[in-house]
Amino acid sequence: MSEFSGKRVLITGGTSGIGLALADAFRAVDARVAVCARSDDALREFSSARPDALAIKADVTDTAAQARMLDQIGDAFGGLDILVNNAGGLVERDFVAAPPGPAALEDEFALNFVAPIQLTAAALALYGPLSAIIFVTSGFALVSPKRAPTYGAAKAGLHGFAEGLRRQFDGSATQVLEVLPPTVDTPATTHSAARKVAPETVAAATLEALRRKRPLALMGATRALPMMLRIAPSTTGRIASRS
């Protein structure tokens, strides 16, 4: 019997890319899966192909929508065991050529940084300690990219939150796992010539890290990143400057 059998899992941004791969990976080990997204079409397509899962329309940057979503999961599943904070988006910004306005920055940080923290707090307040809290960040959380410094900053902030939260839950039954993928092969990265990993690779590494109670899930190019930052930080920074 899988250790994930019957576990109640919420995955934000779960209708495409890494989120969809995670949803299918958890379904394959008999977990009870809920996903959320903002697109009606994406939710309908997800539900049509995966009628066993729960698909919820929700904007994770809206705290009222977060509360409604958690209530729906309580009604359907009776509780929550694993929260996967996956929703996010990379926006390329050039502060030299075209400094962004405050509204654009507020929206970006609301999605990539504030919403996962708010949703984590709301889930803990409603359901108490969970089996696992997962944050999908990025290798850019450790080395910020030249083309998207605000994305790197938001993910670095989430990395710091995950570290601190892990220390708070130290010695408890709650696992705090950070997933740091490299560039992933999704429709959003079709323009990139970088070496990519499949979303399914990220999902497999995530479940393996959960099984082994690891703090980090690393795969592809990010597997060597922590060591590279220790032994050759300047070289690693130069590589990131070309990202």
Q: Could you give the residue numbers annotated as active site? A: 151
Question: Would you call 51 exposed, middle or buried from its count of C-beta atoms within 10 A (0-12, 13-18, 19+)?
Answer: exposed
- The answer to whether the CB of 5 falls within 8 A of the CB of 186 is no
Element housing 25 (H / E): helix 17-28
* CA distance readout (Å), 215 to 33, 58, 170: 22, 28, 11
Nearest to 138 by CA among 130, 129, 148: 148
Place of tokens 């009604």: 75
Give the DSSP letter string of 195-242. --B-HHHHHHHHHHHHHTT-SEEE-GGGGGHHHHHHH-HHHHHHHHHT
What secondary structure letter does DSSP report for 79?
Answer: S
* Count of beta carbons in the 10 Å neighbourhood of residue 215: 12
Q: What is the largest CA-CA distance in the chain?
A: 56
Alpha helices, H only, 113-175:
115-127, 149-168
What secondary structure letter does DSSP report for 173?
Answer: S
